Structure 1
């Protein structure tokens, strides 16, 4: 008997035609997946485009971590996910980057370090998840003192207004300002924060932001919010926002723009969703006026403890889980606006791959001077596949047979329509299939038949497939085969980087009759994306923002941006980097990285776009000259 797993109330588009058997004593799972791109189901919100991290103790020295060369590299990798696949970095203790000096009883604030971090995020096309937390040179000590509450409001206003004036309201109004992280854990450093003090603090944050601009977004409580009467800070804040008295205005009720929760999985994916549903239901029953508020789970990690080494965090197992956690919310009645994995930390020896991070960090101390190398893990690569999904979810259906269960295989199917005809953008469809048994691997593979239909209305279609599994895209496994060296050689680093990419097949012509059937073997774990593109009228736009980050002698990280380029960049097969020590006559792999660089995009039809601005890089990776 098969298991039907639907994505809408529509009728089943096909019936199961084959029998799954047992091969060599191992149960074989079969899945038929049908997709009809002409049947729209709902808007597809990309609510997973967020990550985060926390600087280590002592928090008063957060600048040494947040502004380090390692973090500069890390944020460059985070921002390398194309098409805004990661947009927000939620960072603890941001206000510890602000220092205060009291002059004649009045605090004078120095925002230099915070300015540098905000500039770094902005330069990388990212924005902060701005938790308003920190003691500011230990100036703030007790939020039951009226003077300190008023001064906190002033500090929040000064910070918000500062960045509005520097970057514009359009940018800052996209930030998610949030309360102190997990107040029920009492991690307030030297600040006395009673429940009443926390409510006073909340009002000061709210009014300070409103003073800067009423369009700024503020929410909380940024907590697990266990069932009442547990998590007293959480429930006190929600009650206060519902019908409490505003510390400053005396009005009843305080604005709450979104509900921020932290629900983790204990090693699994479904428990995250189950906890979210339970808590949101309790909140909405106690406070009916909050039913329309967007819900964030901005620490939706499969397992608590970022530094706890787990082998599954190193490979495609983690990547497939992240996709699965997002897909499970596709049919939820909860108004999800953000689902964040708190995984932008920097790993450390000897757990370079196995901590909850997007990259594997190698602190290479056998060079002069020592340097740092980062490698993309599959969990970062898969964010790029998620970014290829369109803005409309379309009909999909799964029929399972054999040993498969109804949560092992899932699909997200989507379409994208170009808002501006005649450009390098075009009609597209992306179908993302995962095979995941949470943090487990399975020796047998799933036999999957993927049937795509509804494409007859489009012309000049091609498709390309992107594929990840633990055999083809597993730099951790390759590193282990090298003997897990602390300091891989330059050649080994290159081999490891190559395995960080998905396997790519195509572009191939899409059948003219408008239907396509693919038969694939998906082990557990695995992720497959099928990307279908109509030929756009124009060639790719010019790449912009070319810059460099020096890594070590003979190595430079070349960074560019697609953020201001039309969405036609979705249908790109490659971005070509040209280098020459003198002029652009040839491409070289010379270890001398000093010279001229330029980048251009090439689409699925082999058509190149215009080269970027030419930049001359110096020995330290600093641009010396533009043309």
Structure 2
């Protein structure tokens, strides 16, 4: 077997690392944010990663209690109540994250039908009255502006509905009905203030049949405002259901990047061609009960996507930050294949560490390749993100890094099948559905990355770094010059005494 050639990393940057990867993260339905475990989990996410926005379903569903018709003195009247909305948004802002508002689903009292989606019953039919829907949207947005200020709410993208191209999420996947909803909604938002950002159509990965082009044609003909375009991206095949779980095939991870690029390709030559593109959901599998999400494979699979997706879109939102989700019902076990970067009770999954490693990269890009991304911080520290191809045997990556001084200190953090992999430990302890406190302690411990440290010589202002990557490994190496402060008389050879003082 031939040794891999060494990659000479240039000392001058070849670009900058944007933060589209951390611009947004997904969440379960809006009212889950009222729960303690949810807020505890989001605090961990914000401490170690720090997303800017958070998006989820159900802002206008009955669980939030916003749309409240009532009878008084023989007349039907309307109250728009924001008790829960305020609590959720306050919690978000306290944790340093802003809403990416998705307007949906339909309140039952305003719905034109009884079709619902998910265990918790989000209504997916058009409004029985577009006038009352517009009043609801206008009142909600106006309340947010009044409470949080126009300058703040201008930074919150407002998305109209979720995956209307799918019958499960919009009755009959009726595009004409969606276009009407979008027009009424966008105009209502702009009545509050024209500077607010409104967009859509939040189509699914299967919407490559002209949905976006027809949407662009409609808004252009009607002069309807659109400030951004949104779609979703997943690479899993049809679900093979088992009790409380799903299995699926996966296309190569590069297919996600192709889906990221699709909106701008489809919208060339339209009024929407130069608008920001937001991937408001992405992951490997679209099922919230597929164990792939809990594995080291998922982290390695998504590493090239997270490292490179910002070259194609303005944001791409991992679906989701936590396993507190419940679309398919209340989870039956701690590890159950949930979308989250964290399980319930804040056990970190390998993909959590992929994001936490990204948060420790520098702004300057020195080099990138199929299995690595090399960056530099303003103070000169170098940070290397490297990964093995998902499912393949590990390999060795050999880098020659620009360096100063005589030696450098290298700090390595890594996750793979054995390290930073609480799912593996959970399986070995018998897959307890409700781990006892002692078992949870073990799982939290097993979830921490492997860590090691090296001191490397510098020759001709270069340091050689050889990384042996294990199967499904994602690793971060942080390199900085050694500033030696040990006194000249210190001799580790004399730890046990003996020898002669110099």
Note whether the superposition's TM-score is higher than 0.5: yes
Aligned runs of 1:164-563 on 2, under 5 Å?
A: 164-187=145-168, 194-224=174-204, 226=206, 230=209, 232=211, 234-241=212-219, 243-245=220-222, 253-266=223-236, 267=250, 268-285=252-269, 287=270, 289-307=271-289, 309-310=290-291, 312-329=292-309, 332=311, 334=312, 336-344=313-321, 345-346=323-324, 348-350=331-333, 352-361=335-344, 373-396=345-368, 409-417=370-378, 426-437=379-390, 440=391, 442=392, 444-453=393-402, 455-456=403-404, 462-506=409-453, 511=458, 514-533=461-480
Conservation of the 8 A alpha-carbon contact between 1:33 and 1:396: no
Residue 337 of structure 1: how far off its partner (Å):
0.5
Conservation of the 8 A alpha-carbon contact between 2:230 and 2:279: yes
- Structure 2 SS opposite 1:238: helix
**CA, structure 1 residues 290+394, in 2 after alignment: closer, same or farther (shift >3 Å)?**
farther
Supply the distance in 2 between the matched residues of 1:35 and 1:321 (Cα, whole angstroms).
Answer: 24
Q: Which deviations, in whole Å up to 9, do the C-alpha atoms of 1:421-480 show, x marking residues without a partner?
A: xxxxx443322111122xx2x4x4312212212x44x99975422221111221111122
- Structure 2 SS opposite 1:414: strand
Q: Which deviations, in whole Å up to 9, do the C-alpha atoms of 1:31-79 show, x marking residues without a partner?
A: 643322x322223212122321344xxxxxx74x442333233323332
Name the residue aligned to 1:117.
88
Conservation of the 8 A alpha-carbon contact between 1:414 and 1:431: yes
Structure 1 residues without counterparts, runs of 5 or longer? 1-17, 21-29, 56-61, 246-252, 362-372, 398-408, 418-425, 537-604, 606-627
**CA, structure 1 residues 254+427, in 2 after alignment: closer, same or farther (shift >3 Å)?**
farther
Conservation of the 8 A alpha-carbon contact between 2:166 and 2:204: no
Structure 2 residues without counterparts, runs of 5 or longer? 114-124, 237-249, 326-330, 486-502
Q: Hey, which of these two has a bigger chunk of strand by percent?
A: 1
Supply the distance in 2 between the matched residues of 1:461 and 1:131 (Cα, whole angstroms).
Answer: 48
**CA, structure 1 residues 187+117, in 2 after alignment: closer, same or farther (shift >3 Å)?**
farther
Query: RMSD between aligned alpha carbons?
Result: 3.3
Supply the distance in 2 between the matched residues of 1:161 and 1:76 (Cα, whole angstroms).
Answer: 28
TM-score (norm 2): 0.79
Supply the distance in 1 between the matched residues of 2:363 and 2:41 (Cα, whole angstroms).
Answer: 28
Q: Hey, which of these two has a bigger chunk of helix by percent?
A: 2
Name the residue aligned to 2:118.
none
Conservation of the 8 A alpha-carbon contact between 1:89 and 1:128: yes
TM-score (norm 1): 0.64
Alignment partner for residue 59 of structure 2, among 94, 112, 116?
94
Conservation of the 8 A alpha-carbon contact between 1:324 and 1:410: yes
Conservation of the 8 A alpha-carbon contact between 2:67 and 2:136: no
Conservation of the 8 A alpha-carbon contact between 2:335 and 2:423: no
Supply the distance in 2 between the matched residues of 1:461 and 1:156 (Cα, whole angstroms).
Answer: 57
